[in-house]
Amino acid sequence: MVSVKIGNEGTLALRYQLDVVVNGDIGDLADVIDVYYVKDAHARTSLPTDMSEMGSPIGTLRQVLEGSADLGVARGNLIAGEADFATIALKMKESAGNDYQGESIGATFDIMLNATQLTHETDGFGSDQYDATAQYPVSVSDSDSFESAIESGKNSPVEINLTESIFNRNTLN
């Protein structure tokens, strides 16, 4: 279990997304580990005796590792000076049995926080929509996802982070 404080020490409102980024191949053990997420006003320091206090699992570890990039594990909005605590807990399913003894999830993973401006403050013209199209940075590891990120950046600027070396044969417009 880990509790992460997400604070806005800036002067503008922000929206954030917490992602779990996998590094390597995922093993079978990840299929029998449930992932729980709770957003609180305080940090949790220990797992509750009854996991229902953490709510329902958001998925298995495999589901979270494979799907996190699209939806994020957690999302939220913070006005200047506010903070949230995101608690992520992993618990092996009691039905898993001894088949998984000595197994590994196979991969390591990082928790990554992305943030961008939130449409909250008004600009000099009285509009609060000046940053409505602000996007989270996009991480890409292959040519297809790179081209998709370039395409999505045609309507509003997008920051693209390359996580692997790629070779792109197409002309970028």
Residue with token string 């996802």: 145
Tell me the average pLDDT across 68-76: 66
Tell me the average pLDDT across 66-76: 68
Phi, psi of 67 (to 5 degrees): -110, -5
Q: Under 8 Å CB-to-CB from 112, ≥6 apart: which residues?
A: 18, 19, 20, 21
**41 compared with 34, residue with greater pLDDT:** 34
Sheet holding 108-117, edge to edge: 74-78, 14-23, 108-117
Residue 20: CB atoms within 10 A of its CB come to: 21
Q: What is the pTM of this model?
A: 0.64
Residues 128-147 have pLDDT tens digits of 666 666 666 677 777 777 77
> 57 in helix, strand or coil?
coil
Residues in the chain: 173
pLDDT at residue 126, rounded to an integer: 67
Residues 89-112 have pLDDT tens digits of 899 998 988 888 888 888 788 888
Q: Where are the beta strands (DSSP E) in 50-146?
A: 59-60, 74-78, 83-92, 108-117, 138-140
**Residue 114 to residues 17, 27, 32: CA-CA distances in angstroms?**
5, 27, 28
pLDDT at residue 152, rounded to an integer: 67
